[in-house]
Structure 1
Amino acid sequence: MPESGQQGQQPGGAPGPTPAGATAPVDVPAPPAVDRMQRFTAANMIRSLVPLVLGCLLVVGVAALRQNPDDPVREVDTTSAERTAAERASYELLVPRGLSDDWRPTSVRTNAGQATVGDPVTLQIGWLTPEQEFAQYVVSDDPEATALTDLLEDTTEDGTEQVGGESWQRLTTERGEALLTRSEGAATLVVTGSASDAELDALAGSLQPYAP
């Protein structure tokens, strides 16, 4: 028998009657906020993400439609890099201007974003030329800049030539490509690539002081 003062239990472990004076337990409904949170199931979350996913797919689709599948060349915008380099450089930045649309910029690099006043600044731009060759322009006031040393090391001199009213030193790179270089104040300018002499001359002759 149950001890005196303890609640008895029905056979099978079920609780016995509630003693006199005791209050029977009552199920209290969850607060409305908790109830709403419980109803926010995984299905609700998926439905809420559908508009975002559709928006991303739309952006990707538009980009795919704009790209010509027969043209693997990806052009880049050089505007921002040129502007930043011009703002941070301690020398007058010369940039190409007036090239035809057949000159397609495919790469641009600059360290100007990390430079402070007085730091060396390097700008490097590459193009696919109208003759489907590669040409690049590098300008820097850092003689040790990798963009310069990689091009100028192991070159052989081939004299000088006048391009756009300026005297350029003509070199041949280790790869057998033509290279034009000259100084402009504290900066060194380089034009080179697999492009023809005529195209490299056109690029060198297009250089003008940066203007927004």
Structure 2
Amino acid sequence: MAEAKPRILQGNRDMFWSVVVLMAIIGIFAGVAGQCTFSPSGPQQGAIPQFDADASLRQDARGLDFPIRSPEVPEGWTSNSGRVEAFAGTTSSHVGWVTGERSFVELVQSDAPEDAFRSLNGGPRPGRTIIPIGGREWTVLTGDDVRPVWVLDLDDVRVAVTGSATTSDFEALAAAVQVAEPLPRGR
């Protein structure tokens, strides 16, 4: 029976084959677990999660102390997210859509003051301009390395549009939300 080589005598070839065996074992486990895929043509766009934005906004209208609107978004947009969260000492309703160009736009509704939106999803946003849409003036808050936030003050609620979408998509959502009637309230 041959004796094992002392550790000091193991060379690069022995280390190479040890690593090859370990990588094969890891590859088998990853393949069985379904955690790896091989796509020679590059990454593929996954399916957009389905979310019922209107039902979420109706629920928010029943539970929050300020008016909530459910805008009619352009055809081809898919709602994919929604939540209620604490924001600037109050509460906010968030609903997001993936647009036809596969970018993201989010509607935020809150009774927080307009300046609080400077820090929405990061910040700061020191820049401030005004954009007219459908007879109303939207405040556009901008900053370095943060997404813009468009805010409209509707007296008892502020609505905001943000995301990675194009300006035309922001305008479409802004126009839709400002003409939408508040949803019925009540618990």
TM-score over 0.5 for the pair: yes
Q: 1:165 aligns with which of 135, 144, 147?
A: 135
Q: 1:106 aligns with which of 64, 69, 80?
A: 80
From the superposition, tell whether residues 148 and 102 of structure 1 become closer, same or farther in structure 2 (CA, over 3 Å): farther
Written as runs of structure 1 = structure 2, the 5 A alignment for 1:16-35 is: none
- Equivalent residue, structure 2, for 1:50: none
Q: 1:86 aligns with which of 54, 61, 68?
A: 61
SS of the residue corresponding to residue 175 of structure 1 reads coil
Displacement over 6 Å in runs of 4+: none
Deviation of 1:105 (Å):
0.8
Q: Which amino acid aligns with 1:201?
A: E
CA contact (8 A) 1:178 1:197 kept: no
Deviation of 1:107 (Å):
0.5
Task: Say which one has the larger Rg.
Answer: 1
From the superposition, tell whether residues 72 and 147 of structure 1 become closer, same or farther in structure 2 (CA, over 3 Å): farther
CA contact (8 A) 1:110 1:122 kept: yes
SS of the residue corresponding to residue 95 of structure 1 reads coil
Cα root mean square deviation, aligned: 3.0
Rounded Cα–Cα distance in structure 1 between residues aligned with 2:85 and 2:127: 29
Which stretch has the larger CA shift, 181-190 or 146-155? 146-155
Q: Identify which of structures 1 and 2 has the higher relative contact order when contacts are C-alpha pairs closer than 8 Å and 6+ apart.
A: 2
Written as runs of structure 1 = structure 2, the 5 A alignment for 1:116-155 is: 120-143=90-113, 149-151=119-121, 153-155=123-125
CA contact (8 A) 2:105 2:161 kept: yes
From the superposition, tell whether residues 166 and 210 of structure 1 become closer, same or farther in structure 2 (CA, over 3 Å): same
CA contact (8 A) 1:124 1:147 kept: no
Deviation of 1:120 (Å):
4.7
Deviation of 1:76 (Å):
0.6
From the superposition, tell whether residues 148 and 80 of structure 1 become closer, same or farther in structure 2 (CA, over 3 Å): farther
- Structure 2's unaligned 5+ residue stretches are 1-43
User: Identity, % of aligned pairs?
Assistant: 23
Q: Which amino acid aligns with 1:105?
A: S
From the superposition, tell whether residues 152 and 167 of structure 1 become closer, same or farther in structure 2 (CA, over 3 Å): farther
